[in-house]
Chain A
Amino acid sequence: MNNLAAPLGRLLLSLIFILGGAGKFANLAGTGAYMQSAGVPSALALPAAAFELLGGLAILIGWQTRITALLLAGFCLLTAALFHHNFADQTQMIMFLKNLGLAGGFLTLYANGAGGMSMDARKGA
């Protein structure tokens, strides 16, 4: 049961980053403009997209899971603070809280390691 829940959980956690990263690659100019509007340099669009995509894939296959999970938890908290800090808007507030929840999921992943069906487990790490 746990050996099923862990890889399924990794899949669900990684989905938003893989799709989000791919979406940013597909629309780099728009992403840059969006980041500029939140006061973040638009030059970071490409690194952010690459980080999301690669980080998501690493979580999905369970490669270097713990360090990646810690990095993604930090990414979630950082983006929450940068992009969803307007608590007057209820949607923004919910997005902020969801980002906190995501960071929580990644911290749990960091604490536990990848679990079943992962590269880390195959290596015996």
Chain B
Amino acid sequence: MSTIAAVIGRVLLAVIFVVSGIGKFMDVAGTEAMITGVGLPGGLAIPAGAFEILAGLALALGLATRLVSVLLFVFVGLATLFFHHKFTDPLQLAQALKNLAIMGGMLMVFAHSQMWWSWDSMRRERQGARAVRDVERERDETTLEAERRVHEAELRAARAEGRADAVQGVAPVTAERPVVNHDVEGMPETRRRRWWQ
């Protein structure tokens, strides 16, 4: 339940950035006029739009969540300072307060939910699984080596026994030795498991 809420929360927080980033691309000239209108240098419309889209998508996916949430926190803070600073206008005040609350949401994402059901957490799980597998493979190889030594020692003992029998004139005992296919039975699975499997 918490995981679902965290993911939905991240997506909802991301929607506004993706949508308004696309909006900036649809109306570059208008955005440019709005940005220069508050005294900022021109040429910022496209970088701002691109940043909003990319950061929004990264937030929704949970890609580099902590970094992205801090960047968006700063972005929203700057946008509030430049575009909604006339607090005497109730509409501007409402917008500024909502921006503050979205910044609060960014801090929430920063503080906790980077762990949950995101690209980052999937990558961490994958690294953990790989480490466990490496340890297991090493252990398997050690076990195999020990078994091989025991087997050789038995062979040497049997040959020595056979020589002793030959010296004493006893007919050699021949027995079918079961064929152990170490390639199939002894070797650990070495095929690498990929993250999409």
Q: Which of B6-54 contact A (CB under 8 A)?
A: 6, 8-16, 19-20
A99 to B12 alpha-carbon distance, docked (Å) = 9
Q: Which of A15, A19, A112 has the most chain B CB atoms inside 10 A of its CB?
A: A112
Main secondary structure of the interface of A (DSSP, over half): helix
Do the beta carbons of B6 and A108 come within 8 Å of each other? Answer: yes
A28 to B99 alpha-carbon distance, docked (Å) = 25
A4 to B100 alpha-carbon distance, docked (Å) = 16
Residue B13 contacts which of A11, A70, A101 (CB distance < 8 angstroms)?
A101
Segment of B102-110, B125-133, B162-170, B173-181 in the binding face: B102-110
With contact pairs A15-B100, A97-B20 given, residues A105 and B9 touching in the complex (Cβ less than 8 Å): yes
A75 at the A/B interface (Cβ < 8 Å)?
no
Segment of B111-119, B142-150, B151-159, B186-194 in the binding face: B111-119
Which residue of the partner chain A has the closest CB to B76?
Answer: A101
A-B contact count (CB 8 A): 139
Do the beta carbons of B107 and A6 come within 8 Å of each other? Answer: yes
| Binary contact track A88-120/B, C-beta < 8 Å → 1, others 0 | 000100110111111111111111110100000
A110 to B4 alpha-carbon distance, docked (Å) = 11
Q: Which of B94, B104, B106, B109 has the most chain A CB atoms inside 10 A of its CB?
A: B104
Chain B interface (Cβ < 8 Å from any Cβ of A): 2-3, 5-6, 8-16, 19-20, 91, 94-95, 97-113, 116
Do the beta carbons of B9 and A106 come within 8 Å of each other? Answer: yes
A6 to B8 alpha-carbon distance, docked (Å) = 19
Do the beta carbons of B109 and A16 come within 8 Å of each other? Answer: no
Main secondary structure of the interface of B (DSSP, over half): helix
**A-B contact list, 17 entries, CB within 8 Å:** A2-B112, A5-B108, A9-B105, A10-B108, A12-B100, A13-B104, A13-B108, A15-B104, A16-B97, A70-B5, A100-B16, A102-B105, A104-B12, A104-B15, A108-B108, A109-B9, A112-B108
Q: Which of B98, B100, B102, B107 has the most chain A CB atoms inside 10 A of its CB?
A: B107
Q: CB-CB < 8 A to A110: which residues of B?
A: 2, 5, 9
